[in-house]
Amino acid sequence: MIQAPDTSSGRWHRAGWIIQDPKTVLQNAMIHISAGRITAVKTGHQTGRDPVVDHGPGVILPALINVHTHLELGALKGKLSAGRGFADWVRRLIQLRENLSRTALDGGISDGIGELIRSGCGAVGEISTLGISRQPFLDSRLHGVWFREYIGNRSDEESLPELPANRESLAGHAPHTTGPDLLIALKQAANRLSRPFSIHLAESGDESDFIRTGTGPWADLLKTRKIDFSTWPLSARSPVHYLDRLNILDERTVAVHVLQADADDFQILARRGTSVAVCPRSNLRLHRQLPDLNRMDAAGLNICMGTDSLASCDSLSMFDEMAFTARSFPDLSLRSIFAMATTNAARALGMENTCGRIAPGYRTGCLYLPLSAASPKMLIEQIVHAPADHPIERVN
Residues of the chain with pLDDT under 50: 1-7
In whole angstroms, how far apart are CA 304 and each of 145, 283, 311, 325, 347? 15, 15, 21, 12, 9
130: left (phi over 0), alpha (psi -120 to 50) or beta: alpha
pLDDT computed for residue 158 by the predictor = 64
Polymer length of the chain? 396
Please list the residues that pair with 165 across neighbouring strands. Answer: none
Query: How many helices (H) and strands (E) would you count in the chain?
Result: 14, 15
pLDDT reported for residue 137: 97
> Rounded distance, CA 164 to CA 21, Å?
31
Predicted TM-score (pTM) of the model is 0.95
Residue 83: per-residue pLDDT: 67
- Could you tell me if 127 and 74 are in contact, meaning their C-beta atoms sit under 8 angstroms apart? no
Please report the pLDDT score of residue 2 as a whole number. Answer: 33
Q: Left if phi > 0, otherwise alpha if psi is -120 to 50, otherwise beta: which for 18?
A: beta
Q: Which domains does the chain have, with CATH numbers?
A: 11-62+357-395 (2.30.40.10), 64-348 (3.20.20.140)
Pairing verdict, β 64-69 and 37-43: unpaired
What pLDDT, on the 0 to 100 scale, is given for residue 387?
83
Dihedral sign for Cα 345, 201, 273, 246, please: negative
Q: Which pLDDT score, from 0 to 100, does residue 163 have?
A: 81
Single out the residue of 71, 93, 65 nearest to residue 286, CA to CA. Answer: 93
How far is 297 from 234, CA to CA, in rounded Å?
29
pLDDT given at position 7 = 45
Q: Residue 1's pLDDT is what?
A: 30
pLDDT for res 3:
35
